[in-house]
Structure 1
Amino acid sequence: MKSKLKIAFLLSIITERGGIGRVTSIISNELNNHPDFDIHIISYARKKENSYDWNNKLPYHYLLEEQIPMKKGIITASKKLKNILSTNNIDILISSGAIVGPLGVLGTVFNKTKLIYWSHSSFKGTSKKQFRMFNEHFTALFAKCIVSLTKTDEVNYAKETRAKKVVQIYNPIDSKLENNDKEYSSTSKKIVSVGRLTAQKNFETLIDVAAIVLSEHKDFTWDIYGSGEEEDLLQKKIKTNNLIGKVNLMGQSSNLYELYNEYALMVMTSKYEGFPMSLIEGLASNLPLVSFDIPTGPNEIIHEGTNGFLIEPFDVADMAKKISILINDEDLRISFSKKNPKLINEFNLSTITKKWITLLNKL
């Protein structure tokens, strides 16, 4: 009888509220349902609460009790990681995200565990961040394989790092959204955006766009779901622009999937993305999509003029114009909405899981 492959996912913290936590919980759960794999979850710091639907039956390991900067904790954490990998006979470690890339290297060097680096951000988007780029290049040098989220970054990693192998695998649509049978709300007067309230998501620029759009369409409002360090800054800018009650910071929501149906369209203003899960969720929820055409992510989800609009980064006036076009043209919004189901198959959970299974078995 063939022995099971023991696979461990390493991430910075299980309670992470961004896309890394969300997609790791989805993929780890799917692989755990496969008869060939035993799945473990390893977290740099101990979780305090769950943000996503993590499988409680999986074994969880914690390297540190408290979350301290990686530069301070990496040596202690790497020693404990080595012990966990050895004790549990882990065959493959998947480092999820650049911050735990070098930790994965230190944990697997000189032992039998093979390392996969699962990139969760845009390679070009991080090119101005020296520490992060060191992580990317260092991890690429030692990993058996890099998994990139987009076709664009598959090329970038192959050309610009010393990666031995690069495989592109999209993040999947959550199975809860795959068979969305809710009708598009064409009469909705609300716009939605989703993401951590950080500089990367560029919600300051979103407020500039909203100031134009909502001055022209006074019956519309704009809701932003997420939490983060820029909450106070954004709230002040909302107030300065007289948008209180028009642009709303909604905080975290545990039932976003149920709420998407209340909206007319989804907008993303990020400076860079690995692969934007919010746009995938908007696609699965049949929302017309509008995004800046940043280097990786949006242009592999949005087909210009088919299910949404791609805007030159960071053209506030043009984004406001395109959103107004959609607001004014209900038939166009309905047309965009109807095209989304035909574009979902590439991001189907079953399709993505098969690609992971193939990769893991090859290694």
Structure 2
Amino acid sequence: MKKIALVKWILDESGGGERVAVSLANELTKKYEVHLIGITTKQSDLFFKINSQVKYSNFFDHRVRLSTNILKISKMLKKYFRDNEIAVAFGIGISANVFLSLAGKGISTKVVLCDHTNSITDNREFSQKVQRYVGAKLADKIITLTQEDRRNYIKKYGISEKKIAYIYNWKEDGLSNVTYNNESTKLVTVGRFDSQKGYDYLVQVAKKVLSEKSDWTWEIYGSGNQDEVDKIKELIKENNLQDKLLIKGLEKNQDLIYGDKGIYVMTSRYEGLPLVLLEAQQYNLPIVSFCCPTGPSEIVEDGVNGFLVDCYDTDKMSEKLLKLMENESLRHSFSAHAKDNMDKFDKNRILNQWIELIETI
């Protein structure tokens, strides 16, 4: 049985990267011996549950500085790969790019780096630019989440088309049997509290639409940076939206998040491939989203199952949202077509892409 490893810097948060790392590890145990390495995360601190067949390891029980420990971690990984005869190692998220690339040098382990945001807009810090550049040059293979980001990598880093592929995140099967309620007067947004998610834009939109539609409310689910939470709470207070725009915190029960909602809204500055949009479609929700880099345009079909709005036009988003809030038949139509585009996110199809990659690299 071929042995593979998935490596992620941290695994104690509830983000898309953490979810994908754990889900992929769990599924691939059906065919491979799977090692999951959370560099700075004890197994007891994992947010998502791993199955008993996954071999879990961590190198530190606490947070350490990546910049000052790159060589140390690279040596630890190289030894781990040799000792456990790892054939293919996947880095989930760009924080693994440098130390995983270095770990793979001089040994037989193939290194695949998986970018779980995008290389178009997510280069806010010099370290991110370095991580992507090193990964693009040293890895055996790069995997992006979208076609758009794959094209950007080829253009930006001058790598060959054979060295890079895109693999979508899959939608989970059978998330819900909840029937869409087109009489619902609730908007919903899900995501961690971070500047990336554009909750400052969300408050601007909420002020406009909730003042016109007094019977509607808007719920935000997620946790994250406390400074960002405090900032958004203050904006909500300044705009007198305390009773209309509600921060609900972290919730694992997706039926409670999506089940009684009328419209899903996303105001992100950028994404990788937003799993929340796939989840919303599983619940047949109409979607209004900024057409940000990357993902929304590959998930939402504008005018068929949702509206895509130019970044970051809050006036236009408010206009589209109000149009949908005012028109029950349009919501019903969008809901009816929510799953039209879901085949390309089929779990078995995407797992087969990962298996093909492992077998051919």
Q: In which range does the TM-score fall when normalised by the shorter chain?
A: over 0.9
**Residues 80-109 of structure 1, C-alpha deviations (whole Å, 9 max, x = no match):** 212211111111110001111112112211
In the alignment, which of 299, 320, 339 is matched to residue 337 of structure 2?
Answer: 339
Contact 2:265 2:288 in 1 (8 A): yes
CA distance in 2, matches of 1:123, 1:261: 34
Letter in 1 for 2:47: S
User: What secondary structure is seen at the aligned counterpart in 1 of 2:252?
Assistant: coil
1:133 paired to 2:104: no
Match of 1:238 in 2: 236
Q: Which runs of 5+ in 1 are unaligned?
A: none
Taking the TM superposition and a 5 Å limit, the aligned residue runs for 1:217-296 are: 217-229=213-225, 230-296=228-294
1:100 paired to 2:96: yes
In the alignment, which of 18, 21, 43 is matched to residue 21 of structure 1?
Answer: 18
Letter in 1 for 2:19: R
1:43 paired to 2:38: yes
Letter in 2 for 1:263: K
CA distance in 1, matches of 2:139, 2:256: 39
In the alignment, which of 190, 193, 197 is matched to residue 197 of structure 1?
Answer: 193
Taking the TM superposition and a 5 Å limit, the aligned residue runs for 1:45-194 are: 45-47=40-42, 48-164=44-160, 165-177=163-175, 180-194=176-190
Contact 2:282 2:338 in 1 (8 A): yes
What do you get for the CA RMSD once the two structures are aligned? 1.3
CA distance in 1, matches of 2:3, 2:169: 22
Instruction: State TM-score, norm by structure 2.
Output: 0.95
Letter in 2 for 1:311: V
CA distance in 2, matches of 1:79, 1:66: 19
CA distance in 1, matches of 2:236, 2:117: 28
CA distance in 1, matches of 2:342, 2:287: 14
Name whichever of 196-205 and 61-70 sits farther off. 61-70
Contact 2:14 2:47 in 1 (8 A): yes
Q: Which runs of 5+ in 2 are unaligned?
A: none
Match of 1:7 in 2: 4
CA distance in 2, matches of 1:69, 1:195: 26
Contact 2:196 2:269 in 1 (8 A): yes
Q: Per-residue deviation at 1:31?
A: 1.2
User: What secondary structure is seen at the aligned counterpart in 2 of 1:66?
Assistant: coil
1:211 paired to 2:207: yes
CA distance in 2, matches of 1:176, 1:64: 36
Contact 1:221 1:246 in 2 (8 A): yes
Cα 1:20/1:303, change in 2 over 3 Å:
same
Q: Per-residue deviation at 1:75?
A: 2.4
User: What secondary structure is seen at the aligned counterpart in 2 of 1:343?
Assistant: coil
Match of 1:354 in 2: 352
Q: Percent identity?
A: 34
Match of 1:326 in 2: 324
CA distance in 2, matches of 1:57, 1:257: 29
Instruction: State TM-score, norm by structure 1.
Output: 0.95
CA distance in 2, matches of 1:44, 1:222: 37
CA distance in 2, matches of 1:127, 1:51: 26
Q: Per-residue deviation at 1:296?
A: 1.5
CA distance in 2, matches of 1:332, 1:132: 42
Q: Per-residue deviation at 1:176?
A: 4.2
**Residues 45-97 of structure 1, C-alpha deviations (whole Å, 9 max, x = no match):** 02352322322431111122211221123222222212211111111110001
Q: Per-residue deviation at 1:162?
A: 4.3
User: What secondary structure is seen at the aligned counterpart in 1 of 2:207?
Assistant: helix
Name whichever of 140-149 and 127-136 sits farther off. 127-136
User: What secondary structure is seen at the aligned counterpart in 2 of 1:112?
Assistant: coil
Match of 1:32 in 2: 29
Name whichever of 93-102 and 77-86 sits farther off. 77-86
Contact 1:64 1:77 in 2 (8 A): no
CA distance in 2, matches of 1:198, 1:331: 34
Letter in 1 for 2:357: L
CA distance in 1, matches of 2:93, 2:172: 19
